[in-house]
Structure 1
Amino acid sequence: MKIKNIISCASLLVAVMLSSCSKYEEDDVVIKFKVENKTFETLTLYCDLSIREIQIDDNGEGECVLSDIDHSYASLHYGEESRQIFIEKKDRIEISFDGFDFIKSFKFIGAKERIVDYLNSFSITRIKPSDYQLSFSDFEKRLWELDKESQDLFSARKFQETFPVFYKMESNKIKYAYAQSLLMYPVGHSFHTKGNSYTPDDEYYNSIQKMMVEDEDIIGVMPYREFLKEGAYISYRNSEPSTNFYDKTLLKMKFFIENFKNDIVKQSMLNYLAVEYIHRYGIDNISELQRYYDTYVQIPELRKIYSEVYDKYDTLSFGKPSPDFNATDKDGKLYSLKDFLGKYVYIDIWATWCGPCRKEIPALHNLSKQFSDKNINFLSLSVDTDKDKWLNMINQNKEMAGYQLYLGNKSQFQKNYRVNSIPRFILLDKKGHIIKKEMTLPSSEQTIQFLNSLEGI
């Protein structure tokens, strides 16, 4: 099996590109778009861990060309709505929709039309919360009963002969979607029985182990990868639980290094874990992870993926110039980062709908008062979709500290800093260079100590 079957669309990892190419090879996947009543300038295609933005022109037309893909699930997003698709090499696809009603008007023309219809209409029967009250053996029995029901409904679609690759991937996607509930049973049982704790025994661990199979044909199936990832950690049944994500990642990598024989699956999982960690936490203090990676991941395509991710996060390391932004105050005046330089800059990325963000407002207010005579600017950037809600809050809440600016949702600044959750705090030096891309919260005692330690504060 070729490695491009494994990485599929992940070969485009995290590279956000505008797709306007009109020349393509025979094996390329070519998707042409026609949008009536365009309400957004771009469509976004998520394919495994990759993101590709497709520009829609003034005529409502766009094109996306994907190379080196054998087969992959993907999702197409327009604004906050999405549709699932499945692609294989040589596919020629036409997608059309009305921007005013993306979901209902969505039309897919191509060889995978039946698959796309299935993906956007079929859902498995979920396990009920009350099922977690069952004994583990009864819970597992119930789980596989539900799996059989869903597998029978899927098989009735008769994809096996026409689309054998998709059939195997989807069948395993269903199976491992259910299998993930096995991982949750100890916590779920305790919660839904109101404290009746469950201690995993040999029966539990054996059930997990049975599902830890090595199959390179389905390494592109997300539930399968996720099960392997979490199952690897659970397999260390005698280890002390760790709440440190880095330590957990290293343990999981060690499991695949020591226990998996299929080289493609092993290297793919090591790559998956390493990339996932960098996506979340960046590249600071990852020497042991890097050592594991360099020693055991040798497939060029996977190393290319890792390098692309690493290089992008390297732009956010200590001492690098911060990405810029454009944001407005309540009167509409435009500001950028240069307007706040000459002093340290403590940035708060927040939104009115975010409970944890609002919880930090009093602490940020007190922090700004404590450092009011110091060389530091406190800057809050709102990522609200509704600007009026932001205006109402800053006008009514007297504890809003420092400079209050409206950045808006899905800004380039958010993308550059990989802001996946808020609140997010960032600390820059007087020249706009990064000191901490993930600064501690205003309510943390460490924040005051760290700010006081800054030279020339």
Structure 2
Amino acid sequence: MVHDFMNGKKIWKIIGCGFLLLETLPMFSQISVRLPSEFSGQEIDMKFHGKHYKAPVNEAGISLLRLPETLHYGYAFLSGPLGNLTVCIDSKAPQTIVWEGRNSYRFLGNNQAINEYLNDGFLYRHSLNYLDNDTVFIEQWSRLYETFSRHLEEASLPEFFSSKERVRLYYVACNLLLVYPIRHSLACRLENYVPSLLYYETLRKAMVENPEGNIFWEYRQAFRDWISQETDYFHPRPTNIEKLEVLMDYVQQHVSDSLLASYLVDNYLTWHVRHFGIDGVACHLPYYDRKVKDLQTRQEFYALYKQYGQIAKGCSAPEFCLPDTSGNSVCLNSFRGKYVYIDVWATWCVPCCKEFSYLRQLEEQLKGADIVFVGISIDSNRKSWKEKIAKEHLTGIQLYSGKEGSFFHDYKIGLVPRFILIDPQGNILNANMTRPSAPSTLQVLRSLTTPK
């Protein structure tokens, strides 16, 4: 007698009194996205628990996204040719999303009512007034979570969802408080704005760990940004390496939620490597290894660490040949015997443009020294680049890279402005050199170029 039956993810066949494993079938939670056929060939990208799942739109306008059922409950963020959506995933049944016109979608299948709630725009319609001073703002903010919770209760959704959503809404509100300093300074056009003690005290009371929040990016982001603000409050204007040291110390001493600590350690170190290189990172790697257990996360970080190690201090600077404003090719090796101070910039970058006057002063102060000043633009429009050079009366050697060439990739250009210092032998001294506006820049360059 032969019978088949399912046991978890495996199909077994009973033969007499024995069991024979025939096949292992991967189980998936499937999301079908239906779009107009004109979007055929484009891609839907879904981010879920920090990982991306992508699927093309076929000729019929359908994109099928499949998630392993081993993944835990949470929210997925879909982006594609017609905007962004949030979808609740619980790995129980297929879901379908149908586009019905401008900013309008219909949800079918599992979690229909939940997904309608998540995409009704309520949270975005209840923003706060960031023009208010922090006392008035905090008074408004203190009622925000209650407003969010009332809307959730009125939706009459299943308790398994509502209990988790209350946690998420709490940290949504926390994030709206955390962005107050930057939004207030922008709205009121204030420079170097510092909130009152009331603001920091309110934050400290609000930011309470809740391990149930780990399935939500709002929870992780809130703690990431709060710890950064909190450490800046006690350690103003640190260097990049000092900032990393303070952040890692704070996590080690004050964060008890192990999953949150793992996220924070990986996030802080990854961000530092991407923007400032590997200097100051090695001493934190033993702690990273103890806290971060996810294999894929570790592999991605160490791959990044290895890449940026190629432009660490003492490494041979990757060669480049780029066109100047006349179309002539200028190569890095033509500057051998002199220090090279590279300014990586773009016309649309406001902080880049603010450095121009300081850069001119620096060039004048080091006139006659064995140093070459090279500006490299990553603009996509060469005409705009040339017009900006003329308008700002930029001196030095001006070259064009864009974002597609080897220079952009070899030097791991992310945020701009970015400054790079290369020694006379063609080796990297600092792949994340200080800006011209920093007083230490002139001191360092003078010490290097002044005859001993």
Shift of 1:304: 4.0
Which is greater in Rg? 2
Task: State the alpha-carbon separation in 1 of the partners of residues 97 and 164 from structure 2.
Answer: 23
Q: Distance in 2 between matches of 1:250 and 1:281?
A: 14
Give the direction of change, closer, same or farther, for the CA distance of 1:39–1:419 in structure 2 (3 Å limit): farther
**Are the counterparts in 1 of residues 97 and 105 from structure 2 also a CA contact under 8 Å?**
yes
Aligned position for 2:84: 83
Tell me the secondary structure at the aligned position of residue 262 of structure 2: helix
CA distance in 2, matches of 1:372, 1:179: 51
CA shift in 2, pair 1:390/1:146, >3 Å: same
What is the count of residue pairs matched by the alignment?
A: 416
Is the Cα contact below 8 Å between 2:40 and 2:58 reproduced in 1? no
Unpaired stretches in structure 2, ≥5 consecutive residues: 1-24
What is the alpha-carbon distance in structure 1 between the residues aligned to residue 307 and residue 49 of structure 2?
18
Counterpart secondary structure, 1:134: helix
**Closer, same or farther: CA 386–45 of 1 in aligned 2, 3 Å:** farther
**2:266 equivalent in structure 1:** 271
Pick closer, same or farther for the CA change 1:421–1:37 going to 2, 3 Å: farther
> Structure 2 matches for 1:181-192, cutoff 5 A?
none
Listed one character per residue, the Cα deviations across residues 112-160 of structure 1 (whole Å, up to 9, x for unaligned) are: 676666437343412223654537xxx6564242222223324444543
Structure 2 counterparts to residues 35-54 of structure 1, below 5 A: none
Tell me which amino acid in the other structure corresponds to 2:84: R
Q: Which has the higher contact order (CA 8 A, sep 6+)?
A: 1
Q: What is the RMSD of the two structures over their aligned residues, measured on CA atoms?
A: 5.3
Q: Which residue of 1 aligns with 2:27?
A: 26
Q: Partners of 1:340 and 1:61 in 2: how far apart?
A: 54
Residue 434 of structure 1: aligned partner: 428
Is contact 1:74–1:86 with CA below 8 Å preserved after alignment?
Answer: yes
- 2:384 corresponds, among 368, 375, 389, to 389
Tell me what 1:121 maps to: 121
Letter matched to residue 421 of structure 1: L
Taking structure 2 as the reference length, the TM-score comes to 0.66
Distance 1:375 1:60 in 2: 61
- Aligned partners of 1:122, 1:154: CA distance in 2, in Å? 10
Number of the residue aligned with 1:292: 287
In the alignment, is the contact (CA less than 8 A) between 2:321 and 2:332 conserved in 1? no
Residue pairs, 1:188-207, within 5 angstroms:
198-200=196-198, 205=201
Distance 1:120 1:218 in 2: 22
- Residue-by-residue CA offset, 1:219-239 (whole Å, 9 max, x unaligned): 1423322333455577789x9
1:111-260 superposed matches below 5 A: 118-119=118-119, 121-124=121-124, 125-129=126-130, 132=133, 134=135, 142-160=140-158, 164=160, 167-168=162-163, 170-180=165-175, 198-200=196-198, 205=201, 208-209=204-205, 211-215=207-211, 217-232=212-227, 240-244=234-238, 246-260=241-255
Name the CA shift for 1:127/1:29 in 2 (closer, same or farther; >3 Å). same
Unpaired runs of 5+ in structure 1?
Answer: 1-23
- Kindly indicate which of the two structures has a greater share of residues assigned to strand: 2
Asked whether the equivalents of residues 44 and 52 of structure 1 are also in contact (C-alpha less than 8 Å), the reply is yes
User: Which residue type is aligned with residue 315 of structure 1?
Assistant: Q
The answer to whether the 8 Å contact 1:322/1:428 transfers is yes
Assess, with a 3 A threshold, how the Cα gap between structure 1 residues 371 and 28 changes in structure 2: closer, same or farther: farther
What is the percent sequence identity of the aligned residues? 20
